[in-house]
C-alpha cells in the first residue's frame, strides 16, 4: 500500500510571512518507492543537501535546487491549478528526475537559463508546456517516447542578415515530423513573454523582415538529399513541408540583430538513423534539445568508417543573394579538433586566427554536412547527448571563439593543438590544425575520425599530405603522442603572384618550438619567432615544405679549401666572383641550383654542360647568404655560402 505522507527530521517548514511559506531541505530527503509526498509551497534543496526521490513527489510550486538530486525510480509531478508558472532553478544549474510529468493546467513549467534538466526515463507533458529558457537543456537517458498534449519550448538564435544562411535542425517534432509552420515561432519577446509563441509570417519574396511577428522568406528554405552531385542535391521546401527528425535545413535571417526563434513541439528523444552511400553528402543536424558530443557521434559512426568529420557553413557577411557573391566557408570538426573556415579579413570578424572554430559539442538546432566515406547507417543516440551551454563549448556558429598563442607548458597526457595559418595575396586566411592525441589510435598515417579533408579548397592553399596521397587535401591531421622527431608534410598551391605567408595562429597545451622546414634548401624557420614569407615562383609545391620540431642541422654549413679532402662533393665561394662545386668522388652531378634565403631560385646549371669534375659558376650577386643545392644520382646535398 502506498504511504501518502513522509516525515524526515531534516525537512523544515519555514514561515516567512502570513501569506507565504517555504519548504527547505538542509540535509537528506529520501522519498522511498511506494511513497507519495505533496509539497504545497515552494521547495528548496539547499547547498550541500541531498534530494532523492524514488517515490511520487507532487509539487504545487517552484523547485529551487542548490544541492544534489538523484533518482533510480519514481516520478516527480509538477501539478498545479493555482500557480500558472512553476519554475525550476538554482545555483547547482542541473536537476535529476527518473520520470517527470508536467500537469500544470494553466501555463506550464519554466526551466531557467543555463540549467540542465536530466530525465532518466519518461517525460510526460500531460497538460501545460515545458519551457527551456535560452540555454536551458533537456537531457534524457532511456530510449522512450515522450507523450502528452503539452509541448516543449526552446530558444535558439540565428544569423541576423537577410543574405546569410544558417543550417538548422529541429529539437522537436509533431507526430514524428517537423514543419516550420507548426514547430517554429517568433521569439522576439521571449524574455518578457516566455510562453508566448507568435506565429511567423512566411513569404516567397527574396528578403525576410523584422516585422511583428517576423517574416521568413521561404525562397531560401531547402533540405539536401543524399547526393554526390553538388548543387543538384538541394530540395526546395516551404513552411508546410514535412522535415524528418535529425534532417538539416537552410533558412536566411530576418535582418534583426540577435533574432530569437522558439521551437515548439514534442521533444525528440532516442535513436535516429540515416542510410547513406559512399561518396554522398547529407545535411543533418542535432536532433535533441541538448548539446550533442561530436566526438561521441563520430566514434559511434566510425566502426563502418562513414563519418570522418563534419562541416558547418559559416556566413562571412554576405551582402547579396547572388550565389557568386556569397561570402562564407566551411568550418570543420573531428575528434582531433575544430578549425575555422577560410574567409577574407573584415567579413564579420572572420577569416583570420580569431575565426569561428567549432568546439566539441553541437548546439541545439545546429545543422551540419557529412560527406559519407562508406555506405551504411548514420546513427544518433542519447549517449551522444550532454549538457554544455554555448557559453561553454557548444556553439551555434554565429560568434567567434579565440585561441591563445601563449603557452607556458605542455601536458603530454592531454591533446596538444597547433594551428598553422596561411594567408594568400588577396588576404584569404586558411587555418590548418595539427593535433597530438595521446592514448588514441591516431598516428602519422590516415586515421578515420582524426584526419579531416578540406571541404572547400581554393586555388591558393595550404594543407597536410598524408600517406603521400597528393589527391587529398587535409585540413586537420591527428597523430599520436608528441615526438620532436616527427615530420609533417605540407602541400602548398600558389596560383597567384604576390605575398604568401605561413604563420602560427595559436597553440593549445603546447610549449615547444614549431618550425617550417624547406626540404629543398634544408633550412628551418621558427614560426614561434616570426611568420614565414614565401617569395617564390607560383606553382604547386607538394614535397618542399614540412612542419618539424627541431632546427635543421645543416643550416650553418660553411666549406673552405681545407675541407675539400674530406668531402666527396664540396661547394664554396672563391672570393673572386665564382662559386666552385667540386666532385672528388664517383657521384654523378645532375644539376646545381642556387637560392637566396627567401627561397627564390637565382641560378640553375645543368651539369651536362660541363666535362670537368669541377664546376665554376660566375656569381655577381650582392653580398649575402645563399644556398647551393646539388642533385646527384644518389640524392641531394645542400651547402650554405657567404659571398
Query: 96-111: per-residue pLDDT in tens?
Result: 999 999 999 889 999 9
Query: 324-350: per-residue pLDDT in tens?
Result: 778 888 999 999 999 999 876 544 433
* Spatial distance between the Cα atoms of 236 and 607, rounded to a whole number of angstroms: 64
* Spatial distance between the Cα atoms of 107 and 104, rounded to a whole number of angstroms: 6
pLDDT at 522 over 70: yes
pLDDT at 275 over 50: yes
pLDDT at 375 over 60: yes
Task: Indicate the pLDDT class of residue 130, thresholds 50, 70 and 90.
Answer: very high
Q: Which residue has the higher pLDDT, 123 or 393?
A: 123
Q: C-alpha cell of 208?
A: 525576410
**Beta strands 532-534 and 500-508: pairing type?**
antiparallel
pLDDT at 232: 81
The residues that bridge with 122 in the sheet, in sequence order, are none
Q: Which residue has the higher pLDDT, 4 or 121?
A: 121
Buried b (16+ CB within 10 A) or exposed e, 79-107: bbeebebbbbbbebbbbbbbbbbbbbeeb
Q: Taking the model in full, what pTM does it have? A: 0.84
Task: Indicate the pLDDT class of residue 355, thresholds 50, 70 and 90.
Answer: low
pLDDT at 367: 97
Candidates 476, 391, 463, 402; CA nearest to 433 is 476
pLDDT at 285: 97
Task: Indicate the pLDDT class of residue 567, thresholds 50, 70 and 90.
Answer: very low
**DSSP state, residue 147:** B
Question: Among the listed ranges 291-295, 425-429, 433-437, which one has the minimum average pLDDT value?
Answer: 425-429
pLDDT at 5: 46
pLDDT at 11 over 50: no
| 180-189, 306-315, 383-392, 617-626, range with greatest mean pLDDT | 180-189
* Domains, the chain, ordered by start: 11-150 (no CATH), 204-395 (no CATH), 416-548 (no CATH), 561-642 (2.60.40.3080)
**Beta strands 523-526 and 452-453: pairing type?**
unpaired
pLDDT at 612: 63
Range 618-621, long-range pairs (CB < 8 A, 24+ positions): 618/577, 618/578, 619/573, 619/577, 619/578, 619/579, 619/594, 619/643, 620/577, 621/596
pLDDT at 396: 56
Mean pLDDT across 184-208: 96
Q: C-alpha cell of 82?
A: 493555482
**253: cis peptide before it, omega within 30°?**
no
| 550-559, 566-575, 581-590, range with greatest mean pLDDT | 581-590
With a CB cutoff of 8 Å and minimum separation 6, the contacts of 519 are: 543, 544, 545, 546
Mean pLDDT across 125-143: 97
Cα end-to-end distance, the chain, whole Å: 101
Residue 533 backbone class (left: φ over 0; alpha: ψ -120 to 50; beta: rest): beta
pLDDT at 554: 57
Q: Which residue has the higher pLDDT, 589 or 305?
A: 589
* Spatial distance between the Cα atoms of 330 and 328, rounded to a whole number of angstroms: 7
pLDDT at 188: 95
Do 250 and 166 touch, CB atoms closer than 8 A? yes
* Spatial distance between the Cα atoms of 209 and 27, rounded to a whole number of angstroms: 53
Sign of CA dihedral 315, 317, 320, 326: negative
Q: Which residue has the higher pLDDT, 243 or 16?
A: 243
Q: C-alpha cell of 187?
A: 521569439
pLDDT at 435 over 80: yes
Do 353 and 250 touch, CB atoms closer than 8 A? no
With a CB cutoff of 8 Å and minimum separation 6, the contacts of 341 are: 314, 316, 328, 329, 330, 331, 332, 350, 355, 356, 456
Task: Indicate the pLDDT class of residue 385, thresholds 50, 70 and 90.
Answer: very high
* Spatial distance between the Cα atoms of 607 and 613, rounded to a whole number of angstroms: 10
pLDDT at 404 over 80: no
Name the percent of the chain lying above pLDDT 90.
69
pLDDT at 85 over 60: yes
Task: Indicate the pLDDT class of residue 171, thresholds 50, 70 and 90.
Answer: very high
pLDDT at 137 over 60: yes
Mean pLDDT across 163-176: 95
pLDDT at 615: 87
Q: Kindly give the residue spans of alpha helices, DSSP state H, lying in 207-325.
A: 294-300
Question: Among the listed ranges 49-58, 138-147, 193-202, 622-631, which one has the minimum average pLDDT value?
Answer: 622-631
Buried b (16+ CB within 10 A) or exposed e, 386-414: bbbbbeebbbbbbebeebeeeeeeeeeee
pLDDT at 406: 44
* Summary mean pLDDT of the chain: 88
SS3 180: helix
CA of 536: how far to CAs of 210, 602, 616, 643, in Å?
A: 51, 11, 25, 22
The torsion defined by the Cα of 126, 155, 237 and 176, in degrees rounded to 10, comes to -20
Q: Which residue has the higher pLDDT, 160 or 244?
A: 244
* Spatial distance between the Cα atoms of 172 and 174, rounded to a whole number of angstroms: 7
Amino acid at each position: 500500500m502506498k504511504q501518502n505522507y513522509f516525515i524526515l527530521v531534516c525537512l523544515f517548514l519555514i514561515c516567512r510571512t502570513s501569506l507565504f511559506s517555504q519548504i527547505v531541505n538542509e540535509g537528506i530527503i529520501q522519498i522511498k518507492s511506494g511513497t507519495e509526498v505533496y509539497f504545497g509551497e515552494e521547495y528548496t534543496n539547499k547547498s550541500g543537501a541531498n534530494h532523492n526521490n524514488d517515490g511520487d513527489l507532487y509539487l504545487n510550486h517552484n523547485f529551487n535546487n542548490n544541492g544534489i538530486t538523484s533518482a533510480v525510480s519514481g516520478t516527480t509531478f509538477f501539478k498545479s491549478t493555482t500557480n500558472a508558472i512553476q519554475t525550476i532553478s538554482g545555483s547547482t544549474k542541473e536537476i535529476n528526475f527518473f520520470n517527470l510529468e508536467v500537469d500544470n493546467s494553466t501555463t506550464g513549467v519554466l526551466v531557467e537559463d543555463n540549467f540542465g534538466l536530466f530525465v532518466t526515463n519518461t517525460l510526460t507533458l500531460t497538460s501545460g508546456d515545458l519551457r527551456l529558457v535560452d540555454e536551458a537543456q533537456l537531457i534524457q537517458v532511456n530510449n522512450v517516447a515522450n507523450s502528452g498534449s503539452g509541448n516543449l519550448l526552446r530558444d535558439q538564435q540565428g544569423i541576423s542578415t537577410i543574405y546569410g544562411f544558417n543550417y538548422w535542425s529541429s529539437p522537436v517534432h509533431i507526430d514524428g515530423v517537423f514543419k516550420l509552420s507548426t514547430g517554429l515561432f517568433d521569439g522576439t519577446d521571449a524574455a518578457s513573454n516566455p510562453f508566448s509563441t507568435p506565429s511567423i509570417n512566411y513569404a516567397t519574396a527574396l528578403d525576410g523582415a523584422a516585422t511583428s511577428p517576423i517574416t521568413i522568406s521561404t525562397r531560401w528554405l531547402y533540405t539536401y538529399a543524399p547526393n554526390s552531385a553538388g548543387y543538384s542535391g538541394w530540395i526546395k521546401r516551404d513552411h508546410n513541408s514535412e522535415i524528418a527528425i535529425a534532417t538539416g535545413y537552410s533558412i536566411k535571417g530576418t535582418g534583426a540583430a540577435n533574432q530569437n526563434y522558439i521551437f515548439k513541439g514534442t521533444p525528440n528523444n532516442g535513436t535516429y538513423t540515416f542510410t547513406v552511400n559512399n561518396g554522398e553528402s547529407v545535411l543533418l543536424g542535432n536532433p535533441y534539445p541538448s548539446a550533442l558530443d561530436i566526438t561521441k557521434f563520430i566514434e559511434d559512426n566510425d566502426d563502418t568508417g562513414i563519418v570522418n568529420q563534419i562541416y558547418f557553413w559559416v556566413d562571412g557577411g554576405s551582402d547579396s543573394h547572388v550565389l557568386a557573391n556569397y561570402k562564407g566557408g566551411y568550418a570543420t570538426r573531428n575528434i582531433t579538433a575544430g578549425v575555422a573556415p577560410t574567409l577574407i579579413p573584415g567579413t564579420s570578424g572572420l577569416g583570420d586566427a580569431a575565426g569561428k572554430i567549432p568546439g566539441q559539442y553541437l548546439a541545439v538546432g545546429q545543422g551540419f554536412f557529412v560527406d559519407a566515406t562508406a555506405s551504411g547507417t548514420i546513427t544518433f543516440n542519447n549517449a551522444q547527448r550532454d549538457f554544455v551551454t554555448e557559453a561553454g563549448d557548444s556553439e551555434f556558429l554565429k560568434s567567434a571563439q579565440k585561441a591563445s598563442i601563449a603557452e607556458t607548458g605542455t601536458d603530454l597526457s592531454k591533446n596538444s593543438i597547433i594551428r598553422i595559418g596561411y594567408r594568400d595575396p588577396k588576404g584569404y586566411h586558411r587555418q590548418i590544425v595539427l593535433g597530438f592525441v595521446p592514448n588514441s589510435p591516431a598516428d602519422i598515417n590516415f586515421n578515420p575520425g582524426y584526419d579531416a579533408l578540406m571541404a572547400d579548397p581554393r586555388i591558393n592553399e595550404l594543407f597536410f599530405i598524408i600517406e603521400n596521397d597528393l589527391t587529398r587535401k587535409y585540413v586537420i591531421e591527428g597523430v599520436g603522442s608528441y615526438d620532436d622527431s616527427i615530420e609533417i608534410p605540407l602541400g602548398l598551391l600558389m596560383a597567384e603572384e604576390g605575398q604568401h605567408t605561413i604563420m602560427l595562429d595559436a597553440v593549445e597545451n603546447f610549449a615547444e618550438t614549431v618550425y617550417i622546414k624547406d626540404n629543398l634548401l634544408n633550412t628551418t624557420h621558427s614560426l614561434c619567432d616570426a611568420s614565414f614569407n614565401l617569395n617564390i615562383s607560383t606553382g604547386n609545391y607538394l614535397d618542399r615544405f614540412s612542419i618539424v620540431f627541431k632546427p635543421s642541422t645543416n643550416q650553418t654549413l660553411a666549406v673552405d679549401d681545407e675541407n675539400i679532402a674530406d668531402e666527396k662533393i664540396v661547394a664554396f665561394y672563391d672570393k673572386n666572383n665564382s662559386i666552385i662545386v667540386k666532385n672528388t668522388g664517383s657521384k654523378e652531378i645532375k644539376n646545381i641550383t642556387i637560392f637566396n634565403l627567401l627561397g627564390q631560385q637565382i641560378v640553375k646549371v645543368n651539369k651536362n654542360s660541363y666535362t670537368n669534375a669541377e664546376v665554376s659558376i660566375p656569381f655577381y650577386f650582392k653580398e649575402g647568404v645563399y644556398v647551393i643545392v646539388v642533385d646527384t644520382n644518389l640524392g641531394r646535398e645542400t651547402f650554405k655560402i657567404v659571398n
